[in-house]
Amino acid sequence: MNMIELAETKSRAWAIMLYVLGTVLLMAELVGMTMKQSDFVDGLWLGVAMVCALTLLPWRRWLHPDSELNRLLDDEVVREHRRMSCTAGFWASLIAALLTAPFAHDAMLASYDVSRVVATAGLFAAMVSFATLELRAAR
């Protein structure tokens, strides 16, 4: 297997992992909204959200900038996909914030729940967008 095939394989695996992590984040949020006052579920959601946020960063380029494989995995197309997915995450967060604001105002939702919904919407949209763009590019 040459370097290009290895990079394509790793890229597909990374995209699939983003779908799985996004699903886990969404499930943790749904469970957290149904189970009030559960420290375990809150901690689980926070941990998964932090891991999800970290997966969107260009760690490969930062940690091993001279690696040929990492240069292939973080080329200009991947950088553009990352930018586009972060834009999608921003708009999803903005829409979630605007839609949940009236519920927070009338005390139907706690501010903590609103912030979790906004963060989950942004992270989920960014991860799914990035994974979809990467898989489309791999075809």
Residue 9 pLDDT greater than 80, yes or no: yes
Q: What are the tens digits of pLDDT across the range 22-40?
A: 999 999 998 888 887 778 8
| Res 15: pLDDT | 92
Alpha helices in 1-139 (DSSP H): 3-34, 39-55, 59-63, 68-73, 76-105, 111-138
Higher pLDDT, 82 or 112: 82
| Res 71: pLDDT | 82
Q: Closest by alpha carbon to 49, among 31, 17, 22?
A: 22
**Interatomic CA distance for residues 117 and 134, integer angstroms:** 26
Q: What are the tens digits of pLDDT across the range 52-111?
A: 999 998 887 788 888 888 888 888 888 999 999 999 999 999 999 999 998 888 778 888
| Res 125: pLDDT | 97
pTM of the predicted model, to two decimals?
0.89
Mean pLDDT over 108-131 rounds to 93
| Res 132: pLDDT | 95
Q: Closest by alpha carbon to 53, among 132, 130, 114, 136?
A: 130
| Res 32: pLDDT | 85
Higher pLDDT, 4 or 88: 88
